[in-house]
């Protein structure tokens, strides 16, 4: 169990044959903004076992893609196509969630049919409610009220979104029995092992683009004693560098304005963290600029620059490697830089290699990590590759995930009905 005494149902606790099941997955994938083509299907593939195990049901799938305002915020039609190819079976897509035409499709389904509903975030209710404490508000959304009339069971397999309290993720817990799918079950079991490590130091590498999530989680990791030291990379490192008084230059500030509107507040939060834990948060010593496509490593005192920062520098890689070698647990979320471009992938590659070759219990999360590990042929060297980014680090920071709380709640509510 992830949290002692807090249990949840799995697919093995009910006879689901012939039932109508709503399955929440996380198939949020990198897309080509021009063509809408799916660039990495690891998350989609991860749910195949759960879908196969639900083969004898009328299976309705609900999911999201990206966030409003982003250029990969699209419909789930390409996802339905990819799922059909992977399953070698038709997954029908409907451009609706709970409107008349979507409900009609649901009612026409036969045993064995699979239907993928529209991107749940196209519907304002999905992202409007913040926080999970008010369960009734989630239950009272149209999404939950309408869909719950059509289903017998709800399966939560979206571990990667389990830190979000949104109606399609937490709203069904007292309405129908909710259970963990195969991805959720395996994530909770494998990640739970991190809590059994009693030797220090325990390290987290926080990189990637979602610096807002990283800064929030850093506070929990350090104050809760779950992690001893944090190494920073990617945009998260840039925020900490600004918080420590470095001027990164106009180009980097503009990038942050576009990607993380209101980033100044995140910098302030990072400042507080640095004040509290100056020795437990590691910042890059040097960075790599993208100078018209060329890699140029510079020390911090050569900043500001008009060129954007695209990677961590060689001195930083050496220092981080040493830290990783000595650790008992290493958790990584997000790349160290713009790893998609060969010249700027060195930091990410070297950090991944250091983790793979260390004796630490290793957990790697974040959207693109599986693809990077596959390219480097290092998948077998990592103890657990998580489908989650934010959810993975939140879990390891000791925060109870909203989605898991909803599963616990459903277990208490429907305990007598399981087989």
- Interacting residues with ligand 3PG (CB under 6 A): 26, 28, 67, 160-161, 164, 367, 389-390
**Angstrom distance (rounded) from CA 70 to CA 333:** 21
**Angstrom distance (rounded) from CA 216 to CA 201:** 21
Q: How far apart are CB 66 and ligand 3PG at their closest, in Å?
A: 7
Nearer to ligand 3PG, 288 or 364 (CB): 364
Per the DSSP assignment, residues forming a β-bridge with 282 are 231
Q: How far apart are CB 121 and ligand 3PG at their closest, in Å?
A: 8
Nearer to ligand 3PG, 284 or 334 (CB): 334
Nearer to ligand 3PG, 216 or 311 (CB): 216
Nearer to ligand 3PG, 360 or 401 (CB): 401
**Cα Rg, the chain, nearest whole Å:** 22
Q: How far apart are CB 18 and ligand 3PG at their closest, in Å?
A: 31
Q: How far apart are CB 166 and ligand 3PG at their closest, in Å?
A: 8
Residue of this chain nearest to ligand 3PG (CB atom): 28
Q: How far apart are CB 76 and ligand 3PG at their closest, in Å?
A: 13
Listing DSSP states for 312-368 in one string gives E-HHHHHHHHHHHHT-SEEEEES-SS-TTSGGG-HHHHHHHHHHHHSSSEEEEESTT
Please calculate the CA angle 128-262-129 and round it to the nearest 5 degrees. 10
**Angstrom distance (rounded) from CA 347 to CA 336:** 6
Nearer to ligand 3PG, 28 or 238 (CB): 28
Nearer to ligand 3PG, 143 or 327 (CB): 143
Q: How far apart are CB 360 and ligand 3PG at their closest, in Å?
A: 24
Cβ partners under 8 Å of residue 120, min gap 6: 62, 63, 64, 97, 126, 143, 166, 167, 168
Q: How far apart are CB 257 and ligand 3PG at their closest, in Å?
A: 19
| 9 to 136, 183, 285, 412: CA distances (angstroms) | 21, 13, 47, 10
Nearer to ligand 3PG, 164 or 229 (CB): 164
């Amino acid at each position: 169990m992830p949290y002692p005494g807090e249990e949840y149902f799995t697919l093995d606790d009910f006879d689901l044959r012939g039932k109508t099941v709503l399955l929440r997955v996380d198939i949020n994938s990198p897309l080509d903004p021009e063509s809408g083509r799916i660039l990495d299907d690891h998350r989609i593939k991860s749910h195949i076992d759960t879908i196969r195990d639900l083969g004898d049901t009328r299976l309705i799938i609900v999911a999201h893609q990206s966030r409003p305002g982003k250029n990969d915020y699209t419909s789930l039609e390409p996802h339905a196509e990819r799922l059909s190819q992977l399953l070698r079976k038709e997954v029908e897509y409907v451009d609706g969630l709970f409107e008349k035409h979507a409900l009609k499709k649901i009612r026409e389904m036969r045993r064995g049919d699979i239907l993928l509903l529209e991107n749940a975030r196209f519907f304002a209710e999905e992202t409007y409610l913040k926080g999970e404490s008010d369960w009734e508000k989630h239950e009272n959304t149209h999404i939950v009220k309408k869909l719950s009339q059509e289903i017998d069971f709800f399966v939560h397999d979206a571990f990667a979104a389990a830190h979000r309290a949104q109606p399609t993720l937490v709203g069904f817990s007292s309405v129908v029995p909710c259970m963990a799918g195969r991805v959720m079950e395996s994530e909770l079991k494998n990640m739970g092992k991190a809590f059994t490590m009693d030797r220090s130091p325990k390290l987290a590498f926080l990189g990637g683009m979602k610096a807002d999530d990283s800064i929030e989680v850093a506070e929990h990791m350090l104050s809760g004693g779950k992690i001893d030291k944090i190494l920073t990379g990617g945009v998260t490192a840039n925020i900490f560098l600004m918080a420590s008084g470095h001027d990164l230059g106009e180009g980097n500030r503009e990038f942050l304005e576009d990607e993380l509107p209101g980033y100044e507040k995140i910098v302030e939060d990072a400042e507080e963290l640095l004040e509290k834990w100056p020795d437990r948060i590691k910042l890059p010593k040097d960075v790599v600029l993208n100078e018209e496509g060329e890699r140029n490593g510079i020390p911090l005192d050569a900043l500001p620059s008009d060129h954007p920062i695209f990677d961590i520098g060689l001195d930083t890689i050496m220092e981080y490697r040493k830290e990783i070698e000595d650790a008992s647990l290493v958790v990584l979320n997000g790349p160290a830089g713009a790893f998609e471009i060969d010249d700027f992938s060195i930091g990410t590659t070297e950090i991944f290699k250091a983790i793979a070759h260390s004796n630490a219990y290793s957990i790697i999360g974040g959207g693109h990590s599986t693809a990077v590990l596959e390219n480097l042929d290092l998948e077998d060297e990592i103890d657990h590759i998580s489908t989650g980014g934010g959810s993975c680090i939140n879990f390891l920071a000791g925060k109870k995930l909203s989605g898991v709380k909803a599963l616990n709640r459903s277990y208490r509510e429907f305990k007598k009905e399981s087989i």
